[in-house]
Structure formats: structure tokens, C-alpha cells
Amino acid sequence: MKKNHQGWRILVGLFAMLGFLVISQWATSARAATNYQGADFTTAAKVTNGPDFKHADTIDVQYKLDFGSTSLHNGDTISLDFPENLRGKTPGDTFDVTDESGVVIGKAVVSDTGVVITMNDALEGKTNAKLTLNLATKYRYDDTGEKDVVFPLENNGSSTSTINMVANEANLSKNGVIQDDGTIKWSILVNRKNLNLKNVEISDTIGDHQEMIQGVTVSKAYWTSATGYKREKPAMSEDEYKVTYHDQGFDLAFNDPLDQMVVIDYYTKITDPSLIDTGYKFRNSAEMTWGGGTSGTKHSEKANGRVSSSNGNSGSGSGDTNETTEEPEDKDTGTIDTDNGTETDAEEEAREEAESKEEAAKEAEKEAAAATAKKRAAAKAKQTAAKAKQVATTKSATAKPTATQSAGQTVNHNRKLPQTDEAPVAWVTLGGLGLLLAVGSVRVLRRH
């Protein structure tokens, strides 16, 4: 009886050891995520618009990364730093990085100093992973003149783009921000240069798919930096100006001369909410007049405002399932409006015409790339079928009718990363466990 109990204790011990080894094997096979520095894989980087910028303008930058034989796995992160004199336009913004078919391969988060991309498992098993990132930035400082924007590249290289920072000489500007409740908050900056202006009048006209919400707030303001300002409190009294509302906006006249900047805030309602998330640009325009009277003719200045749900950040990528010819690069630069309300109508028309031509060229290039990829896939499938037919014919000709032929087995281990070569370890572990169980069983039988 005592011997039977000892035998069971040995079997229980062996099963406990089996469980421990299985758990250890599983823990060993679990792969820790890798954090990559994007500069180590950046083959090209540049500023894609400009070269002249006001401090409030958006500076678009583009990065191209090539990972070659380095495999990207689920959970891996890629960190890219902005050049020292640029900052993220919209810290906290998140966007999807997609492949050429629109499949999400990673999620990116923008900060003040750069962007971090977290990959998913969409590129598992693929080689030659490539990424193209288009990011919206702003100039970090308040100085003016030509500036070098230096991007670090792979192999300790670098790429330099030259930009020209210019002072904003406009007396009037306008900008907008889309709100969570489906409205847009518009702000008109009047007398930006703190001049002595008489008989100041503002005429505001809202654009398509908007409805005026009556009620304006008028505040004196002062600059805190080249792009930042602060409103004084309390706001100006309604006795200091007269406002008249109409279907397409309002007219406002100041009773007294102005000698400092004034901010006019108001809201419009978006009448077609389906446009909000499409990147549609909601527009608005304002005109300021001053002077005139007995002193001479009136002066005028216009400003255009545009706002979109798009923050100007995007990413695309690809990888080869097998070794193939490299696809054409995506030429999308993600260019967005950069005038901050001070672009003239002629400048706006010229820029948008150039953007339309560039967009058409991109679409044509994508269609050509898709057609090329389709032809390659068809040719490869035809070649594979031909090889399979040839192998089948060869086997049929060499087979003997009196013998039974069994197919051989080819084991192909992934040698790129040591942690992916797990099959031999698993078989050795199971073999050792089998030997332990066999020895234990023999020992129990002998004691019986």
C-alpha cells in the first residue's frame, strides 16, 4: 500500500513538472515589443510647402522610412522627433497609418516634440516595411529670417530644408475652430498692429453650409507672443459699438477710434453635420474699413478664414509578403491651408489650383501602381501554376507502379529573430517530458 502511494506521488510530481515546463515555454515564446528610433530608418525628410511662412502658418513636413530586413511586429513602437525649431501643430492628435488598401497598420500620436507610432499585426510576416508620414508643424520661435530645418537620417546622415519666417503685416485676420456641438467659433482680429484708426467698420460674411447664430463678444486684446494673444476682461460694452445682423453674417461699427487690437468672437451652426468628419473646409470672410469722413477716402482690408476637421497629419505604409519590386512612392504631402486668414483671393485661387493638379497626379499614380501590382500578381500566379504542373508531371513520370510514394516534409524556420525559431525548442521540451513520464511509469510498475 505504501509503495502505491509513493508511485502516485511520483506521477503527481511529474505532471506538476510538465505544467511548469509548458508555462515556462509559453512565457519564453512571448515576444516583448521593440521601441525603434525612427531616425535610424529615415531615408528622406523635408518641408513640403513654403518657403515663406508667417508664425501662425502651418509647416508641412514629410518623412520616409524603410525598415529593410527589420521585421515589425504587433506592439512595436516607432518614435520620430521633430527638428529642434519645429513643434507639433496639434499635440494629442491621433491618426491611423494605413497601407495601400486602406488597412490600418498602426496608430500614431502627435506631441509637441514629435510622433510615436504603435504598430499592429498587419505587417506580421512581411519584409521591406516602408512608411510615409505627413505631419503638420509650426515654427517654435518668434524670430524672423531664413532658418535651416535639419532632419536626422539613417547612418548619422541629415537633410536640411530652408524656410523663411516673415512678420505678419496684416491689420485684419480671421480663424475658426470646430466645436463638439456642431458649431464653429470664429474669431476676427481687428487692428492687429495697434494703430490709431478712426471710423472702423467690420463686414462679415459666412460661407456655405453655415447658419449665423446672433450674438457677438467684442474684447480688447494684446499680444503675448508672435502668434499668441490674450483678451482683456471684461469684454467691451455694447454701447461702444453697433451691430446689425443679416442672413449671411453681420455688420459692426465702432463708435470711437481704436488704438489697440480688438477680437470679435461669434458662432455659426453647421447645417450639414455629415461634412464635419470629411475634411471639408468651412469658409468665412471679413472686411475692415477705416478712415474716410472729412479726412479723405476710406481704407479697406480683407481676410479669409477656413477651418477643417483635418489636422494635416497622415501616414501610409507597406510591406512585401515575398521579395518583390519596390512600388512607386506615395507622393501625398498632406498640404493644408496655411494663410490663417491673411491669404489674398488671388493667392488662394492659385494655391488651390496647384493642389487640385497635385491631387489628380497622385490619383493617376496610385491607379498606375495598382494596375502594375495586379499584373505582377497575375504573372506570379501563372508562374506558380506552371511550376506546380511541371512538378506534378515529373512525379508522375518517375513514380513506380509497384511502390507507394510518400511526400517528404520540409521544415522552414524563420531565422530573422531568435525568438521566432521556437519549434525545435518545443519538440525538445516535449521529448524530455515523454522520457520523464516513461521513466516514472517504469519505476511505479517495478514497485508493484
Secondary structure (DSSP) of 231-261? E-SSPPPGGGEEEEEETTEEEEEESS-B-S-
Spell out the residues 6+ positions from residue 149 whose beta carbon is closer than 8 angstroms to its own.
47, 59, 61, 83, 85, 86, 160, 161, 162, 163
The amino acid sitting at 375 is: K
Adjacency order of strands within the sheet including 145-152:
52-53, 158-165, 145-152
Pairing relation of β-strands 158-165 and 52-53? Answer: parallel
Q: What are the φ/ψ torsions at residue 184 (nearest 5 degrees)?
A: -120, 130
Pairing relation of β-strands 86-88 and 94-98? Answer: unpaired
- Share in percent of the chain as helix, strand, coil (round to 5): 30, 35, 35
Dihedral of CA atoms 273, 277, 280, 281 in degrees, nearest 10, equals 90
Q: At what angle do helices 423-447 and 2-29 cross, to 10 degrees?
A: 180
For residue 264, give the nearest of 254, 274, 278, 275 by alpha carbon.
254
Query: pLDDT of the chain along its 448 residues, tens only?
Result: 555 556 656 665 666 666 555 454 544 445 688 999 999 999 999 999 999 999 989 999 999 999 998 989 999 999 999 999 999 998 999 999 988 888 899 999 999 999 999 999 988 888 888 999 999 999 999 999 999 999 999 999 999 999 999 999 899 999 999 999 999 999 999 999 999 999 999 999 999 999 999 999 999 999 998 889 999 999 999 999 999 999 899 999 999 999 999 999 999 999 999 999 888 999 999 999 999 766 678 899 999 998 987 766 666 555 554 333 333 333 333 333 334 445 555 555 665 666 556 555 655 665 665 565 566 556 555 665 655 555 455 444 444 433 333 333 333 333 333 333 444 444 434 444 444 444 444 444 444 4
Cis ω before 51 (30° cut-off from 0)? yes
Dihedral of CA atoms 235, 236, 237, 242 in degrees, nearest 10, equals -130
Cβ of 366: how many Cβ atoms within 10 Å? Answer: 15
- Strand ranges in 6-76 using DSSP code E only, listed in sequence order: 35-37, 42-47, 52-53, 59-66
For residue 61, give the nearest of 337, 334, 309, 356 by alpha carbon.
334
The amino acid sitting at 226 is: A
What HEC string does 99-153 produce?
Answer: CCCCCEEEEEEECCCEEEEEECHHHCCCEEEEEEEEEEEEECCCCCEEEEEEEEC
H-run or E-run covering 391 = helix 345-398
In the numeric block, the cell 521633430 is attached to: 82
Q: From CA 327, how far away is CA 305, in angstroms rounded?
A: 39
The amino acid sitting at 236 is: M
Q: Residue 330 is placed in which grid cell?
A: 506615395
H-run or E-run covering 160 = strand 158-165
Total residues belonging to the chain? 448
Three-state DSSP state, 59: strand
CB 253 within 8 A of CB 200: yes
Q: From CA 265, how far away is CA 423, in angstroms rounded?
A: 67
Exposed/middle/buried for residue 305 (C-beta within 10 Å: 0-12, 13-18, 19+): buried
Q: From CA 441, how far away is CA 435, in angstroms rounded?
A: 10
Query: pTM above the 0.85 mark?
Result: no
CB 31 within 8 A of CB 419: yes
